[in-house]
Structure 1
Amino acid sequence: MASTMAEIEETMKRLTEPDFILGYAIYSPDAIPIKYKKLEYKQVVQYGALISSLLLRAKTNIRNLDLKPPDTELQTIRIRTLRDTELIISHVNDNFMLVIQQCEGKNKPQADEGKAEEVKEA
């Protein structure tokens, strides 16, 4: 299922239209930025360095789990941050892609919200 770069760019245009998408970047296997949007170059380079290290360690750990060959390939990683953003890292052919989206606190537990209201009343 090999996609051309034009198809990837068209998909990324559609994905970055919503306001909750803060930016994206596509990297070569060596973590060199190929294309990015809505992010500063300095951020893109820093994310690339950190993500390439994370991907290498994650792939190594998955292979060490001794799973059957079809189950050992890493495809996507989702990371939720304290700033209510989510980093989605995925493979695109030999390259990897990063999408940063705003979560708006959708996954906060109900119990925490109730406690916050109780504190305000006291």
Structure 2
Amino acid sequence: FIMASQEIEGTLSGLLSEPGVEGYIVINYDGIPVRSFPENNELSVQYAALIADLVAKTKATLKQLDPSDSEFTYLRMRTKNEKEVIVTNQIINGCEYILITLHSC
């Protein structure tokens, strides 16, 4: 995985100190994980592929529903197993990334 800026590292480390946060995965819009905690390549690749597809479909749906206000910024899902997955659209150094935050409930 790549990505190194001290500011980014500080933000991601701070994220882990939030109550209930178990981990995160940062992916690009091609569905490739660029950073994760804990480092579990298999899980990161699985989440990356599925969430990138979900975000693309969500953006397309929003655009059809309301073309004047179709910017995707945030999605929150809660699973049956008491997990929350929060997905946000992030721009870092001019590149777009998706931040997936994994929470226990």
Counterpart position of 1:83 = 81
- Structure with greater contact order relative to length (CA < 8 Å, sep ≥ 6): 2
Q: Which amino acid aligns with 1:37?
A: F
Q: Which residue of 1 aligns with 2:100?
A: 98
In 1, Cα distance between equivalents of 2:75 and 2:56: 12
Residue 72 (1) aligns with residue 96 (2) = no
More strand by share: 2
User: RMSD across aligned C-alpha pairs, in angstroms?
Assistant: 1.7
1:15-26 equivalences under 5 Å are 15-18=15-18, 20-26=20-26
Which structure: larger Rg? 1
Q: Distance in 2 between matches of 1:51 and 1:24?
A: 13
Which structure 1 residue ranges, 5 or more long, are not aligned? 104-122
Classify 1:18/1:73 alpha carbon distance in 2 versus 1 (closer, same or farther; 3 Å).
closer
Q: Normalising by structure 1, report the TM-score.
A: 0.73
Q: Which consecutive residues of structure 2, in runs of 5 or more, have no partner in the other structure?
A: none
Match of 2:37 in 1: 37
TM-score w.r.t. structure 2 length?
0.84
Distance 1:75-1:18 versus aligned 2 partners, 3 A rule:
closer
Q: Detail structure 1 runs of 4+ shifted over 3 Å in the superposition.
A: none
User: Tell me, what secondary structure is at the counterpart of 2:85?
Assistant: strand
Percent sequence identity is 29
Q: Deviations over 1:63-85 (max 9, x none)?
A: 001342xx210001000000111
